[in-house]
């Protein structure tokens, strides 16, 4: 189950209180103040773990609380600091404040850490307030409060190629053909209800691989949330290359179906219309008049200034040509500054 957004409350630990104490030992006259400082509260830290691909482990964790710092003690003993809480998140996690939607961090690289709530400082003990004018201070500070925040965590999949298109365009079938991923495949719209990732190997070199994402079907109005479109479109934002799939066996005008999805990508908040993309005609094995439909596919691709490739995920026809094109576009996108 892919959980790609959660809201949690994080609370760092409060600092420990300072201590009021005086040294009293035999044969030690006028020992003076010896109250220690309180320990610092623990912080809440997010750490990127490439072994995770969902936020499911945080879905039911409403409150994350770090440990409080210990109070100071006599003999100038500083209280122990509170333990930090480290939360593992998958690469591609965006951390925002729930109130103002300010982005605190965009966690992408494995091992990266982000402190989202800092522990309160420890209060000073009375030994800190000793002076020639006040040799026996009887005051100490309370520990500072730890930070408390309501956070929204949003996962955007990290993939090289994003498969987009109308429902039932053949995205899941193509991904299952190209990789070991096994998304649900069925002959009805909206079969895929969550994105899937698959690792694809180049036909000419097994050492060349790319990650492909199957994005659930988009419909008209997706950029405004229709069909949960805004939730799905955000997964496309990190894909440097897009493959726009269109079913060649349908009777509705091919150009209209392509324009619908292109319009939704352009209307989305991120500048998706500028991404390199390729037009992929699917279900070639189910087409009767191949010559006519292939001419229409090429004409639509030329109108948008992109390459077009007809494929059949069932027979494997056209798959190698499509992969070579996608690998070239991905490598070109990665070399651009």
**Co-location of 217 and 270 in the same domain:** yes
**Co-location of 36 and 3 in the same domain:** yes
Of 256, 250, 255, 232, the closest CA to residue 163 belongs to: 232
Question: What pLDDT shows up at residue 25?
Answer: 81
The conformation of residue 227, written as its DSSP 8-state character, comes to G
- pLDDT category of residue 29 using cuts at 50, 70 and 90: confident
Question: What pLDDT shows up at residue 306?
Answer: 92
Separation in Å, CA 302 to CA 40, 65, 306, 321, 325: 64, 56, 6, 18, 16
> Interhelix angle for 171-178 vs 319-335, to 10°?
90
Per-residue pLDDT at 14 exceeds 80:
yes
**Co-location of 168 and 35 in the same domain:** no
- Average pLDDT score over residue span 60-75: 93
- Stronger pLDDT, 219 or 63, i.e. the higher one: 63
Per-residue pLDDT at 188 exceeds 80:
no
Question: What pLDDT shows up at residue 146?
Answer: 96
35-45: pLDDT as tens digits: 999 999 999 99
- pLDDT category of residue 191 using cuts at 50, 70 and 90: very low
**Co-location of 100 and 4 in the same domain:** yes
Q: Please, are residues 162 and 272 in contact by the beta-carbon 8 Å criterion? A: no
Across the chain, what does the average pLDDT equal? 84
Enclosing domain of residue 186:
161-335
- Average pLDDT score over residue span 256-268: 81
- Backbone dihedral region of 51: left (phi > 0), alpha (psi from -120 to 50 degrees) or beta? alpha
- pLDDT category of residue 286 using cuts at 50, 70 and 90: confident
Q: Please, are residues 224 and 268 in contact by the beta-carbon 8 Å criterion? A: no
**Co-location of 120 and 166 in the same domain:** no
Question: What pLDDT shows up at residue 64?
Answer: 95
**Co-location of 11 and 86 in the same domain:** yes
For residues 44 and 53, what is the distance between their CA atoms, to the nearest angstrom? Answer: 21
Count of structural domains, the chain: 2
Domain final residue pick, 106, 126, 155: 155
Per-residue pLDDT at 133 exceeds 60:
yes
**Co-location of 72 and 178 in the same domain:** no
Question: What pLDDT shows up at residue 204?
Answer: 78
- pLDDT category of residue 269 using cuts at 50, 70 and 90: low
Q: Please, are residues 284 and 312 in contact by the beta-carbon 8 Å criterion? A: yes
Per-residue pLDDT at 82 exceeds 90:
yes
- Stronger pLDDT, 88 or 219, i.e. the higher one: 88
298-313: pLDDT as tens digits: 999 999 999 999 999 8
- pLDDT category of residue 229 using cuts at 50, 70 and 90: very low
**Co-location of 240 and 187 in the same domain:** yes
Domain final residue pick, 87, 120, 155: 155
**Co-location of 313 and 195 in the same domain:** yes
Looking at residue 96, which CATH number applies to its domain?
2.70.210.12
**Co-location of 134 and 269 in the same domain:** no
Helix (H) or strand (E) run with residue 29 in it: none
For residues 65 and 88, what is the distance between their CA atoms, to the nearest angstrom? Answer: 15
Question: What pLDDT shows up at residue 221?
Answer: 39
Question: What pLDDT shows up at residue 43?
Answer: 97
Domain final residue pick, 140, 155, 170: 155
For residues 115 and 122, what is the distance between their CA atoms, to the nearest angstrom? Answer: 18
- Average pLDDT score over residue span 273-300: 89
Per-residue pLDDT at 184 exceeds 60:
no
Choose the weakest-confidence range: 77-81, 241-245, 269-273: 269-273
Looking at residue 174, which CATH number applies to its domain?
3.40.50.300
**Co-location of 121 and 170 in the same domain:** no
The pTM of this model reads: 0.71
Question: What pLDDT shows up at residue 28?
Answer: 76
**Co-location of 93 and 145 in the same domain:** yes
316-332: pLDDT as tens digits: 999 999 999 999 999 88
């Amino acid at each position: 189950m892919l959980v790609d957004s959660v809201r949690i409350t994080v609370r760092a630990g409060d600092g420990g209180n300072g201590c009021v104490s005086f040294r009293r030992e035999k044969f030690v006259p006028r020992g003076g103040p010896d109250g220690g400082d309180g320990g610092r509260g623990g912080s809440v830290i997010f750490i990127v773990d490439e072994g995770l691909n969902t936020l499911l482990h945080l879905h039911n964790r409403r409150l994350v609380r770090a440990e409080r710092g210990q109070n100071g003690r006599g003999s100038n003993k500083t209280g122990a600091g509170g333990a930090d809480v480290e939360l593992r998140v998958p690469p591609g996690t965006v951390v925002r404040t729930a109130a103002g939607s300010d982005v605190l961090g965009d966690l992408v690289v494995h091992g990266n850490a982000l402190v989202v709530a800092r522990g309160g400082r420890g209060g000073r003990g009375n030994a800190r307030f000793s002076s020639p004018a006040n040799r026996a201070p009887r005051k100490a500070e309370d520990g500072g409060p730890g930070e408390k925040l309501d956070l929204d965590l949003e996962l955007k999949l990290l993939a090289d190629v994003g498969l987009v298109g109308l429902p039932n365009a053949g995205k899941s079938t193509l991904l299952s053909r190209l990789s070991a991923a096994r998304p649900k495949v069925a002959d009805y719209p909206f079969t895929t209800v969550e994105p899937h990732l698959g690792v694809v190997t180049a036909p000419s070199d097994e050492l060349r691989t790319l990650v492909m994402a199957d994005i659930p079907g988009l419909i008209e109005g997706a950029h405004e949330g229709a069909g949960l479109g805004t939730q799905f479109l955000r997964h496309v934002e990190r894909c440097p290359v897009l493959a726009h799939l269109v079913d060649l066996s349908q009777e509705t005008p091919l150009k209209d179906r392509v324009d619908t999805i292109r319009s939704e990508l352009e209307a989305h908040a991120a500048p998706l219309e500028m991404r390199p993309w390729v037009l992929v005609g699917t279900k070639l094995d189910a087409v009767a008049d191949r010559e006519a439909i292939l001419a229409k596919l090429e004409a639509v691709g030329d109108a948008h200034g992109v390459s077009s490739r007809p494929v059949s995920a069932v027979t494997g026809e056209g798959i190698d040509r499509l992969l070579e094109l996608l690998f070239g576009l991905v490598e070109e996108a990665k070399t651009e500054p």
